[in-house]
Amino acid sequence: MELDESKYLYLLFIIPILVVIFLYNQYWKRKKQREFGDLDLIKKLSPEKSVFKPILKLVVLLLALVGLIIGLVNPKMGTKMETVKREGIDIVFAMDVSKSMLAEDVAPSRLEKSKQIVSQIINQLGSDRIGIVAYAGSAFPVLPITSDYGVAKMFLQGMNTDIVSSKGTSLDEAIKLSATYFDEKSKTSKLLIMISDGEDHSEGAEDAAEEAAKLGMKIITIGVGTEKGGAIPLRVNGVVESFKRDNNNEVVITKLNKEGLTTIAKATKGGYVDGNNTKQVLDYVKNALDNIQKTEFESTQMANFQSQFQWFLSFAFVLLFLDVFLLERKTKWVQKLNLFNEKE
């Protein structure tokens, strides 16, 4: 059993509060009756008034309230198992987290823009499996291949330029690490989506892409940044205090290297797309995914939990309906029970 809205269980604390109020009210009534006159005389003046009925009405009301609360919680039960077959491809997102991605020539910054793009690509995926790699001067595995998109987005939002210590940008290291995410023997289509400004401070990116092509990988590169470029802000407590400078004390201007990213993509018969236009990227990636062969790669047994709230709500409404007809006067069946010595 699982509870859909367990937060509503706190409403059950109302039950003991109502019981205390009821008991206090009964005590107050009896106290006032004693002040008014003799209890036996008062009882004779209202012979049809039942001692048991108010308690019964309270029990019915509390049970109805419990039914309403459990209905809000929506317990789910079920032992039915069903086979879920999934078709899709394996996708690895390689995110450039070098310092140049802090440039703000693309709002709010190249890195934040990259996160937005990847997040929206994930939103339009179906049953594909995804993984995440971060890279700067070296590559770092962030998230292994998974079908849990929620976890992927959580890791994605936590990425920053400090998670990889090596300076610079090494596209070839990113490609090599991404290749290890894929099962060479698997027939599942393999796609690497690289998001970067293309400033590569290493050699061999094209060679690494050619090796990736031999493994059946296709690479789509997304360029984030402008050809005019931008400075790299240095922040302290979120405030820009200066900009990164080179050995000659000149402000470093980092620019988009479209050609380098295009070359890598072509080596695997993939493609390059300008990341500054999010809609253009999403349309391009969607079209690419539509043209990649999907493979049945997983068959999972999943429990099919059924909502049970309707039973508890029905129970509660029946009790509330009965409560309307439960008067506080004595009835014959209650007198026969004589639970509270109501018979003289």
- Per-residue HEC secondary structure of 155-207 comes to HHHCCCCCCCCCCCCCHHHHHHHHHCCCCCCCCCCEEEEEEECCCCCCCCHHH
CA 300, 304, 308: angle at the middle one, nearest 5? Answer: 165
- pLDDT at residue 310, rounded to an integer: 83
- pLDDT at residue 40, rounded to an integer: 62
Joined together, the tokens standing for residue 259 give: 């050609």
230 φ, ψ (degrees, to nearest 5): -160, 160
CA distance 331 to 315: 24
Q: What is the pLDDT of residues 66-95, one digit of tens each?
A: 988 888 888 877 655 555 667 789 999 999
Tell me if 50 sits within 8 A of 148, measured CB to CB: no
Domains of the chain by residue range: 2-78+305-337, 84-300
Mean pLDDT within 271-278: 94
What global pTM score does this model have?
Answer: 0.63
What DSSP assignment string belongs to 241-268? EEE-B-TTSPBPEE---HHHHHHHHHHT
* Omega prior to 108 cis, within 30 of 0: yes
Judged against a pLDDT cut of 50, whether residue 172 lies above it is answered with yes
* Top-level class of domain 84-300: alpha beta
Joined together, the tokens standing for residue 68 give: 């309403």
Judged against a pLDDT cut of 70, whether residue 162 lies above it is answered with yes
- pLDDT at residue 299, rounded to an integer: 47
Joined together, the tokens standing for residue 181 give: 């995410």
Q: What is the pLDDT of residues 24-57, one digit of tens each?
A: 888 887 777 676 666 666 555 555 556 667 788 8
Judged against a pLDDT cut of 50, whether residue 313 lies above it is answered with yes
Place of tokens 């069946």: 333
Place of tokens 């129970």: 315
Q: What is the pLDDT of residues 90-141, one digit of tens each?
A: 999 999 999 999 999 999 999 999 999 999 999 999 888 999 999 998 999 9
More confident residue, 59 or 165: 59
Mean pLDDT within 293-322: 73
113 burial level (CB within 10 Å; 0-12, 13-18, 19+): buried
Tell me if 69 sits within 8 A of 8, measured CB to CB: yes
Half-sphere exposure of 73 (CA within 13 A, CB side): 21
**Average pLDDT along the chain:** 83
More confident residue, 221 or 67: 221
Mean pLDDT within 238-259: 87
Count H helices, E strands: the chain? 11, 15
Residue 60 burial (CB count, 10 A):
17
